[in-house]
Structure 1
Amino acid sequence: MNIDFSQINHEDLEFLVADLLLEEGLTLESRPAVGPDAGKDLLAIRHATCSLGYPSLERILVECKHTKANVSESDLGYYEKKMEKHGANRYLLVTTSSVTESVRNNFESTNNSRDDKKAIYWTKNDLKAIISKHECIYERYFVSWDTEINKALRFTKQHFMEIHKGALLWSSNTTFIFGNDGYSSDFVRNYIEEMKTELGRQQVKVLSFKVFDDGYSWGMLVDSVEARALFDMVWESTIANKDKDIATREKQKAYSRLVSFFSEPHQSYSVD
């Protein structure tokens, strides 16, 4: 996944973290909002049970810091007082960078104290690891060719599953080439590699390639608007190596379904 935090702002980060906490099974008591927050981005609740079966309640104060510089003590202020103010016994700092050694030491001191307060942090790498577990969250906040190819695969699976292979103009500057013809087959893999080689020869860049979850369908996004020419290229190997009459009929069927997508993009969104 191409997780680029420069694509989101601080408010996006707060909502992103809120969505992640929900996906991780927590309950939100206070959601992020635009405007002054009195040092509180959001409050989350987690119901836990110890090994003996005693229930406990974790009330988590969450603060988000969208910054390139490591978060320092001065950036946080007195986080334990903020916890008291909001009745929290847990503190979670989420940052798109990392934290200074002094912050690590302060958190360790809090965790080693005799009271029930605990403090942890998610750095940039921690955040990326958690996001990577939730594809729906990733697609909601980050734009990438990985995101686009997932959309394209779902679209063709929903509308063109009966077509063995083809191509369509996906955006104003990209074409989506796809196949519903059994990616596990050596024949299919071979002609895909041949096609990639030919695309390289024509100086057409493959932006993303992916096999659908079922392992049967596949697709690639390329930086070309020549959807009709790419459609013909997809079929060349099939017609040359399989029964010509059957393959020609299959190509004609695919053409009739896809011809309207050769000149008009499925959607107008494009990624630089």
Structure 2
Amino acid sequence: MPYALFPNSVCSQLEGRCKALSSIRSLLEHIASRHNKIALLVIDSKIDGTKMDITALKNAASKVILSVKTLYSLGFLGKVIIGAPKLDALEYVKEVARLSENMDSVYFTIDLEKNNIQGTLEALVSIPNKNRVYGTGISACAPGIADNTYKLALVNNAGVVGLSYLWTIDKRSSMVKAIRYFGGIMTNYPADLTKVLTDAEISLAKPSFKIPPATSTAIRETVPPCDCNYHSGGCSISKASPPGLACKCRYAGTWTCRGSITSCKKPSSVSCKTPTKSIKSCLEGGGDCGGYR
């Protein structure tokens, strides 16, 4: 691949073919040496639950937890997410959660079930440890994530899980959409994502940031509605969003508007905490608010 053609990609730093020849210890030391710059490490466990019995899954969990303990002993200050790809590796995730129960900075997830957010969350909430997060993503050759999954990830983020994240997003337009629904984004283009976040006035996380523990097992299976009407000049909110969320209005053609749930641009604002049909609440959604003129 001509990496020079993609200067903002992490791949541009490679001098040749990428080979996984580093020892675990050297990788941990490398990460820990940047302890003041790395806020979150995601350990993407390549676990195939269809080919491993319970003993093998538990042994794998013990080894990864040992590595995490070593990482923290070397001075790492950030948070760690340990993930398994599919629900067939649930026993691995359960053992990770059990072994990390007293480690406040370690979280667990299943992050390759694509649009099966309901099944994933049901599996995660069945585990007593409350340090659960939700992850999902797409690969270059796979179908995209459904809009409803974006919205369900958002409405379940507060309480059912402490954080929702999405991988691997490389197009700027996809980044702009994703940051309104997910608290974490994985990308091969960190400079581009930083620019998108800066434009949206969203700060990058620091090692001291906190991922809150889950506080609820009540999974939201549907997205709460909001709606917008057309007026001369554009849209206005006709049905307000629930507290803590925003309504994004869009013109749908033939003098009609539609509304959809999204995150607030300023979560601490009164217009976000107690949404109304006002223009201030409409602006929180970042959509068409021309109907208030």
TM-score (norm 1): 0.25
TM-score, length basis structure 2 = 0.24
In terms of fraction of residues, the more helix-rich structure is 1
Report which of the two has the higher share of strand: 1
